[in-house]
Structure 1
Amino acid sequence: MATGRAVVRSGRQSCDGRRARVARVAIIGSCITRDLWPILGEAPADLLYISRTSLPSLFARPLADVEVAADPPPGLARHQNNAVRADLRKSSLAALIAHRPTHVIFDFIDERFDLLAARDTLVTHSWELEVSGYLTQPDFSHARIVPRASAECDQLWGEACVELAAFLRQTPLREARIILHESQWAQRYLDRAGQPHDFDQDVMIFDGNLGRLDAHNALLRSYQDRFAALTGASRVRADPRLRMGDVGHRWGLSPFHYVADYYRDIWRQLRDLGL
């Protein structure tokens, strides 16, 4: 659930025992994609993971005057602080090009956070930014929330998606395979005895910030359809019957922390795309 790079072993064996070409994977998304590897015991050759951001924030100007501590402030892990730094400094796109990925996977589960308009730019109003203490700095003194469900946010997202499509075409990323991991917030979850229960429609984003489950799923469908139409991305989507929350998930119970079979289904599809 962080922005960072992990270099670990991978590679697929060919039929004569030789190791096939190793994929270089980049993720712009959330733990629903990053968790594929640890949950299934697999490992990408060289993973760049960009999280806790939004397309409008990715393409906005840096908020350069905010001081981001080298050591994480209380309440944040190092990878969480790195994610906040990347979102404020707008360093993710340069890191993506430098990574030279063979595959770039997008998922939009982190597009549940509001945006924050600060000075002449936008940042992602994530839980990590909220607890970091950075919001007390002068650059945020007159900041205003752009609600995720607002028409303003939708327009900003659509404009950024057009910009992203051009970015993918006009940079070395045009050589990479672009993949959309489509998903939805689960309506139901399994308890520890394997019995199903319904999620509440009101889902906590963080600290009193609620989101309506059906509304966010409608937003995800819109985002995913617009992104696919503009980029021609390959689309992977788990069997809807597997879109089930899991109370025993490594990150806890949430409408986007799924049962293990969900990840197995997505992993099978990604392998078919060359991972």
Structure 2
Amino acid sequence: MMQRVFIYGSCVTRDGVELWPDYGMELAGYVARQSLISATAPSRSKDFDTSTISSPFQRRMAEGDIRGNAVAKLTSNSDDLDLIIWDLTDERLGVYRVPSGGYVSRVVDYTTGIYRGQAALNTPIRIGTAEHRTLWEQALVEFLASLESSGTRDRLILNAIPWALRDEEGASTKTAANDPEAFNAVLAEYSAIAERHGVRVARPDVRRILSAREHQWGAAPFHYTQDSYRASLDAILEVL
């Protein structure tokens, strides 16, 4: 019998789904581009206009981020899922505090006309800063309490796959936009925080984590080779 899995995270987990049948898993749902901070502190929908987002998927994710719908999706149909795989890559750009209340994730570019509030969005709260860390841990406590209430907390696993330092040909993946060593340091810190709160953490063999030059979404330290996705799934099964 296949395990029904809900992904809360990013392409880091989603791009390996084609391999899931080999691991006895099938996709039951997916929420991306939603920080744990915005998921537990929603904003006012009327302050945003998502009609300018051409991609239906990106528009749905932005609207979910604004409303903070990830927790509801994970808890409202708890009988329909066996496992929740969570990853932190979409935390990478931090969040904005919305002047009228709540937060939104910076992985969505709300400054391109989507945000229509009277006051401008504040200075970004970047991941790894003391402010972000405090907000994130507070959100984590609330998140886990909601999962506990719905009976799904013991189904949660954090997929702590690091960003690849090199691609399959040995070239560095560091760019002006993405620094894998810096992100991996933050990932290790936040994963340890989650682990202290009782979250099971799957850490794959880093020797198998490589970026794919010909990935369907382009080269990036979080776009991996097929064996990297298998390494991640192997680590998840080991935790299970």
Task: State whether TM-score is above 0.5.
Answer: yes
**Partner Cα separation in structure 1 for residue 27 and residue 182 of structure 2:** 35
Q: Distance in 2 between matches of 1:272 and 1:199?
A: 28
In structure 2, how many angstroms separate the alpha carbons of the residues matched to 1:273 and 1:241?
19
The structure 1 residue matched to 2:15, chosen from 7, 25, 35, is 35
Whether 1:155 and 2:129 are equivalent positions in the alignment is no
Indicate conservation of the 8 Å contact 1:118/1:139, yes or no: no
Instruction: Quote how far apart the aligned CAs of 1:146 are.
Output: 1.5
Question: For residues 231 and 139 of structure 1, do their structure 2 counterparts lie closer, same or farther at Cα, with a shift above 3 Å needed?
Answer: farther
Check whether the contact 2:9–2:86 (CA below 8 A) recurs between aligned residues.
yes
Structure 2 residues without counterparts, runs of 5 or longer: none
Does the 8 Å CA contact 1:80/1:128 hold for their aligned counterparts?
Answer: no
Residue 11 of structure 2 aligns with an amino acid whose one-letter code is: C
Report deviation, 1:260.
Answer: 0.8
Residue of structure 2 in register with 1:254 after alignment: 220
Rounded to whole Å, the distance in 1 between the matches of 2:157 and 2:20 is 21
> Aligned partners of 2:199, 2:107: CA distance in 1, in Å?
29
Q: Contact conserved, 1:55 with 1:157, CA < 8 A, in 2?
A: yes
Match status 1:219 vs 2:197? no
Alpha-carbon distance between aligned partners in 1 of 2:70 and 2:118, rounded to the nearest angstrom: 21
Cα 1:64–1:139 shift into 2, 3 Å: farther
Structure 1, unmatched stretches of 5+, are: 1-19, 205-210
Distance of aligned partners of 1:270 and 1:214 in 2 relative to their CA distance in 1, 3 Å threshold: closer
Query: Separation in 2 of the partners of 1:218 and 1:242?
Result: 18
SS at match of 2:217: coil
Give the distance between the partners of 1:259 and 1:271, measured in 2 at CA.
Answer: 19
Residue 212 to residue 35, structure 1, CA distance change in 2 (3 Å): closer
**Shift of the alpha carbon at 1:98?**
2.1
1:199 alignment partner AA:
T
Q: Output the CA distance in 2 between the equivalents of 1:180 and 1:118.
A: 28
The CA deviation at 1:256 is 0.9
Query: Which residue of 110, 114, 120 corresponds with 1:141?
Result: 120
Checking the alignment, whether the CA contact within 8 Å between 1:106 and 1:181 is kept in structure 2 is yes
**What is the RMSD of the two structures over their aligned residues, measured on CA atoms?**
2.4
| Count of equivalent residues | 235
Does the CA contact (< 8 Å) of 1:84 and 1:128 recur in 2?
no
| Counterpart in the other structure of 1:198 | 172
Give SS of 1:144's match. coil
Aligned-residue sequence identity (percent) comes to: 26
Give the corresponding residue for 2:230: 264
Distance in 2 separating the partners of 1:160 and 1:81: 24
Larger Rg: 1
